[in-house]
Structure 1
């Protein structure tokens, strides 16, 4: 894999505590000398996502001493006002289904655009020139703000607005979920895969009671189905 320019020695990871952002955190720690994380409390229906962030970060620091030395502060930003405006099945009691505009009701309008803008403001003050996000257009659920074209346009807008270059790295953009599991394996081996399985959270319904082979979740929402299918494909490929 191509390593980042050594002069760009710091990165800020948009970190939700899910499988994708956990893999992105490991990816950044493998490449940059200093890595910080940022999360967003945007009125999510389920607090388990915010709890997963803490557990995954702690697990990374405990299991990977070399990465622990690079892992800097975590910042959580309160965006609950935005979440109330951009109501979805992730922020309000709504059914998870396809909406009238052909997008799933889990779509939070402009979420990645808002997150990236806020993260860029924080990164600017922290002298961090790189943002890392888990956006993916291969397995995305119809979310227009996960597309490569959207992220490239946002990178340009942010850089223009800040008056200096701000790069947005999306290491999962062209990967499916099986390849994301494989990337975690490549980066941190079984220890990282086990950590992501046990501690990360993806389920839209916020279920943590049932432990499947691929982790905790309801097993029937689109996020769980995608994660489970990727896990099975990953295991088949790894054999």
Structure 2
């Protein structure tokens, strides 16, 4: 199979409009000459996260696309897509939290890879983190390395997946945003909350607690 010429100056960013992916978006904006952000509509309860993603890209002049992945909601019922399932406030002793969406990162990266290859782009950026993975198996480094190899073999194309947050915690993620000059953007314009509240969020869900505790640690250690 003859591959398109790879553009080493461009990257595609998996972009949800949350803290981690927004930090990665600006990390990629600094590292690459041009970036494209790709978001996914999987019938998540809080469509505001897609609006956040769209607004951030428009404000900072980043090309943005939203892909339809609605079938994921049908296949993998979870608290992020179903109004009748309440988000776990604490991680369970066994198994994964009910906010885990089976196959989500695998499908996101697969569709983004297809998107990237059509444009001759080999670099993909995603905000997964093993340090703060909240019990999600598809945020582990071993998974990213595995799917990177699989995508290369499946499409006979040399992708390279970047995970800038893989080995850092939330305090260090806030520090990265600060160093990139986008601390206020991440703090005020993103949506991380499982209950769909922008900025500081509800303060009670696991995502908000992780974000808040990381910010407090960041202020204590770095400011």
Give 1:3's aligned residue: none
Give 2:4's aligned residue: none
CA gap 1:235/1:99 in 2 versus in 1, 3 angstroms = closer
| Contact 1:23–1:184, Cα closer than 8 Å, also in 2 | yes
| Contact 2:200–2:212, Cα closer than 8 Å, also in 1 | no
Give the C-alpha shift of residue 55 in structure 1: 2.3
Per-residue Cα deviation, 1:80-135 (whole angstroms, up to 9, x for no partner): 11222111100102122256952100000011000000000000001111110000
Report the RMSD for the aligned CA atoms in angstroms.
Answer: 1.4
Give 1:95's aligned residue: 86
**Pairing of 1:13-24 with structure 2 (within 5 A):** 13-24=13-24
Structure 1: segments with no counterpart, 5+ residues: 1-6, 62-67, 209-214
SS of the residue corresponding to residue 180 of structure 2 reads helix
2:35 counterpart of 1:35? yes
Q: TM-score, normalised by structure 2?
A: 0.92
Per-residue Cα deviation, 1:35-91 (whole angstroms, up to 9, x for no partner): 0010000010111111110222234x2xxxxxx5xx3x2111011112221111001
Work out the CA distance in 1 between the residues paired with 2:110 and 2:180: 28
Work out the CA distance in 2 between the residues paired with 1:55 and 1:216: 17
2:166 counterpart of 1:176? no
Give 2:196's aligned residue: 206
Runs of 4+ deviating beyond 6 Å: none
Which residue of the other structure, out of 96, 99, 103, is the alignment partner of 1:106? Answer: 99
Work out the CA distance in 2 between the residues paired with 1:100 and 1:139: 17
Work out the CA distance in 2 between the residues paired with 1:230 and 1:54: 25
Structure 2: segments with no counterpart, 5+ residues: 1-6
**Pairing of 1:49-88 with structure 2 (within 5 A):** 49-59=49-59, 61=60, 68=61, 71=62, 73-88=63-78
Give 1:156's aligned residue: 149
Per-residue Cα deviation, 1:151-201 (whole angstroms, up to 9, x for no partner): 00000000111101101100000010000010011112xxx1111111100
Work out the CA distance in 1 between the residues paired with 2:43 and 2:222: 38
| Contact 2:57–2:64, Cα closer than 8 Å, also in 1 | no
- How many pairs are equivalent? 214
Give the C-alpha shift of residue 207 in structure 1: 2.3
